[in-house]
Structure 1
Amino acid sequence: MGTGSKICSLTPRQESAPPPPAPIVINKYSDERLRFIVKSMSERLELYKEKVTDQYASSPEISPPVSEYKHRAEQKKKEEQEKKKKEALMDPVLGNTIDPFTDRRYIAWLSLVTMAFNYNTWFLTARLCFPYHTESAMPYWFAMDTLADLIYLTDSIFFQARKQFVKGGDIIVNREVTKNNYRNSDRFLLDTISAMPFDLLYFQFGFKSIFRFNRLLKADTFFEFSDRLESIMTKAYIWRVIRTIGYLLFMLHINACLYYVASDYQGIGGTKWVYSGLGSAYLRCYYYAVRSLINIGGLNEPHTVFEITFQMTNFVVAVFVFSSLIGQMRDVIGAATAGQTYFRSSMDGTVDYMVNNHIPSLVQNRVRTWYTYTWDAQGMLDESELLDKMPLVMRTAIAVDINLTTFQKIDLFKGCDQQILVDMLLRLKSIVYLPGDFVVKKVSSNSYHIVT
């Protein structure tokens, strides 16, 4: 090769690569479903990535350790104390919101509003039908009406606008948001109508209670008070029985008012069926309502078409109303004694089983004693049935509060991991043993021990 020669390297022309072969699709529908599943799993992975990385996620597979739980509880307690200190510096009326489910002061206030509502419900109907608007009584009626109206206004302005509510799983405590939520609700409309001063029509038409019947639109307060009171009472069936009796008394009250109106239409003392005009008008008419609605009998026979029609309608309504109240009372008493009924049926079934199988009397007596002692000790046969309906976080909290102290006293569990302790706490069940029962059997290499 010479000195001045030039070597040229010729590269063959790059030809374009052939396209990849098309995927073989055996079943188009299956291929689309598989692609959809892969896409969904990818989206789910991105959605739960943050939750998976949390080692204390509240799921049945991963339970928070006891130490972490106690730390969170202490931290939450400190935050609540700081919150209470801040709220103490704020105005007690306008500065904070109200938890309608746990605040006992709000429930006490609802009881006052309920009293005002019942005053309007009972006395407005009585004043409308009976001649109780005398010159001497009018100042007292006006004073009581004014007091009830002030309670209504206070409830609408200072309490209902501060009630916390749940939105999207979060408890809203901001007062501006709670106020706007109340103003956009149907209850605000009813409260506004119930507070309208139609009493000013007194100056034009005279002192008549019919102008105050818009006050009866405050009925939601009564039902809210009833629900809140049941939630905090240990024996809620007592209030249910009282409420049912109140319904019965109010129906008798309405019937007494209608009877006096019918008597006034026919003419007081005009016939033997109407009110005679002697004694207390309300008590006499109420006595008639009791005998009529409860179908005691002994009533004067109606003679005119109006009297016969009124009495027949009264009997028909009485059958419907009284049977409904009797059924409601039966349901209340049945719900109150459901636990004891279950205990009795379980005990009777067990005793029948032992008798049919000729179990010795000694064993039968011990079984009866166990049933009775278990019921007296915890008021139920299996308390785990209640806890199974709760979320895992609540069951963990209850289990830690009840059984953690007992676990800490046992040397066997002192070296265990916190996760194991939590899992064991969730699986514990309360069982009552009688003296002499075999609880633990311990077997060693040299001996056999029975611990009772």
Structure 2
Amino acid sequence: MQCYQFQKHRHHLVRSQQQRYWKDYVIDPADPSWFYWSLVASLATFYNLVVVFLRAVFTDFNNPDWRMTWFCFDYLSDFITILDMLLRCRLGFLEQGILVTTKMRLVKMYLKSYRFPLDVMSILPFDLVYLLVGVNTLLRLNRLLRIWRINEFYNDSETRTSFPNMFRMIFLIINICLMIHLNACIYFSMSRFLGFGSDDWGYDPSQPGYDNLAMTYAYCFYWSMLTLTAIGDVDPPSTLPATLYCIIVTLCGVLIFATIFGNVGAMINQMNASRQEFQQNVDSVKRYMDIRKVSPLLQDRVIQWFAYTWNNKQSVDDKTALNILPDKLKTEIAIQVHLETLKRVAIFKDCEPGLLQELVLKLRLQVFSPGDYICKKGDIGKEMYIIKRGKLEVVSPDGKIVFVTLQDGAVFGEISILNIAGNKTGNRRTASVRSVGYSDLFCLSKDDLWDALKEYPDARAMLWEKGKQMLRKDNLLDEEAARRKELADMSLETKIDNINAMMETMGKQIMGLMSNLQDVQKHMGIKIEKP
């Protein structure tokens, strides 16, 4: 009995939680689930757009064997439409940048929009007239009032997709096929109105092989495609209505397909825009090298560098690509792309997040060709490098001896950009570094680092200390010079505070000595007079 009551209480609790959840449920229009539902609702509308005319014109599709299947699809699309209307009553919207979740406001927003009356008219059950006049899908023509749902999904998808040009191309092909389909239905209706086989222009089902449904629709679709594309490889009409119809269809086809081909050309240009911009840069460099009589060997290296950057997607400039974004989003993208790379640097491991966020925005990608020297021994260090991809060799000044090979994730040059006083190398490179093949390196300049450290004095002191420890480890730190530099950099107030602290310490030490002398006096019986 107790077990039954427990189960009953548990069932009641779960049910109440579910009711509370659906009562407070609000849809975020940016949520991926709403996007996928929009796809389903758009497919339901597209189904009606295709099938209503198809079954109204090609009546053989309504034979009793297929009737139940069509009814299932018809009323499934109606159910999706009704469900979409209900969900729209819970669809949030942004007001002053904040998602509105008040249920009454969401309902009023939908009821006042132009979509609500169209949705209501689109779902009116005119197809109940089937019971009186038989199946005629033109009674479902009001379902096409929801064509706005397809346009809304297209606009949303164009923003969300990672391949917008490919999506536009696919959507364009679907629209072309839809126009050809609708015109095929009109052509079959005109042929039936004028009489099948009355002339060579119309459809003639008495020809061998043209009496089945599949061939009937295929021929009409083929005729429609030839006419709308202005190819014109069809028999001329012999009646006035057919002639007028052909004139109108041809004119509409020329206008529509001129627009379509213009859009296709624009899409192709957009797809190749980055390549064209890259090629313009290559051509301008080639022209410059030809004018300045650059050696063929160096020209070949430049061309190979361009080819490598394009083939490995390194021709995209981060600052240019993200320039349109606000600083907050640029920082988040840079953190996701570069933060782990920056954390590989030992001196930056324990830095506060704010400094790291400043630095990731200042990392620049550089590509070096085979045999290029990133730095040479004795050069003044102005940048530090992090290897993203490739192999580098630390070599002797003459390049004949290889001391060590650096690979992905290795870091070098970080000490030289800290300007540590007492560095025995004088912030100069201690070895030459050469690229074995093509190498991708992240670069952080000294100026960028110090610009970021202005706002983080504690981080600057910590980096100095870490740099000193690394120099001490290699016996490259002159302690005396470091102390002199620290004293020279101190402000007057800091120096006065240090002198006061030293005087106070010395006073305490003198008092301690006097106390020790008095203890000795008592122990040895010697009287020491104070000066």
TM-score range, shorter chain: 0.7 to 0.9
Of the two, which has the highest radius of gyration?
Answer: 2
> Aligned residue for 2:76?
147
* Aligned partner (choices 242, 251, 255) of residue 316 of structure 1: 251
Post-superposition Cα deviations, 1:165-190, rounded to whole Å, max 9, x if no partner, equal 11112122444443332233222222
SS of residue matched to 1:436: coil
TM-score by length of 2: 0.63
- Matched pairs, number: 363
Aligned-partner Cα distance in 1 for 2:101–2:336: 28
Superposition map of 1:111-190 within 5 A: 111-132=39-60, 133-157=62-86, 159-190=87-118
> Aligned residue for 2:236?
301
> Aligned residue for 1:254?
182
Deviation at 1:282, TM superposition (A): 1.7
> Aligned residue for 1:98?
27
Superposition map of 1:36-435 within 5 A: 90=18, 95-103=24-32, 105-132=33-60, 133-157=62-86, 159-278=87-206, 279=210, 280-378=215-313, 380-413=315-348, 420-435=355-370
Contact 2:196 2:205 in 1 (8 A): yes
Deviation at 1:418, TM superposition (A): 5.8
Aligned-partner Cα distance in 1 for 2:427–2:90: 72
Contact 1:124 1:209 in 2 (8 A): yes
Greater strand content: 2
Deviation at 1:153, TM superposition (A): 0.9
Structure 1's unaligned 5+ residue stretches are 1-88
Aligned-partner Cα distance in 1 for 2:217–2:88: 36
Deviation at 1:412, TM superposition (A): 4.8
Aligned-partner Cα distance in 2 for 1:192–1:409: 61
Deviation at 1:264, TM superposition (A): 1.5
Deviation at 1:329, TM superposition (A): 1.5
Letter of the structure 2 residue corresponding to residue 155 of structure 1:
D
- Structure 1 residues 412 and 440 mapped into 2: Cα distance closer, same or farther (>3 Å)? farther
- Structure 1 residues 418 and 124 mapped into 2: Cα distance closer, same or farther (>3 Å)? closer
Contact 2:375 2:429 in 1 (8 A): no
SS of residue matched to 1:171: strand
Deviation at 1:252, TM superposition (A): 0.8
Letter of the structure 1 residue corresponding to residue 189 of structure 2:
V
- Tell which has more relative contact order, 1 or 2 (C-alpha 8 A, sep 6+): 1
> Aligned residue for 1:28?
none
SS of residue matched to 2:368: coil
Letter of the structure 2 residue corresponding to residue 238 of structure 1:
M
Letter of the structure 2 residue corresponding to residue 96 of structure 1:
Y
Over the aligned positions, Cα root-mean-square deviation in angstroms equals 2.7
- Structure 1 residues 381 and 366 mapped into 2: Cα distance closer, same or farther (>3 Å)? farther
Contact 1:156 1:191 in 2 (8 A): yes
| Percent of residue pairs bearing the same amino acid type | 28
Superposition map of 1:1-20 within 5 A: none
Aligned-partner Cα distance in 2 for 1:285–1:341: 42
- Structure 1 residues 303 and 349 mapped into 2: Cα distance closer, same or farther (>3 Å)? same
- Structure 1 residues 336 and 94 mapped into 2: Cα distance closer, same or farther (>3 Å)? farther
Contact 1:101 1:228 in 2 (8 A): no
- Structure 1 residues 447 and 309 mapped into 2: Cα distance closer, same or farther (>3 Å)? closer
Deviation at 1:368, TM superposition (A): 1.8
Aligned-partner Cα distance in 1 for 2:284–2:332: 35
- Structure 1 residues 365 and 162 mapped into 2: Cα distance closer, same or farther (>3 Å)? farther
Aligned-partner Cα distance in 1 for 2:428–2:243: 92
Post-superposition Cα deviations, 1:377-427, rounded to whole Å, max 9, x if no partner, equal 336431211221111111122222333333333245568776554433323
Post-superposition Cα deviations, 1:188-208, rounded to whole Å, max 9, x if no partner, equal 222222112222233344322
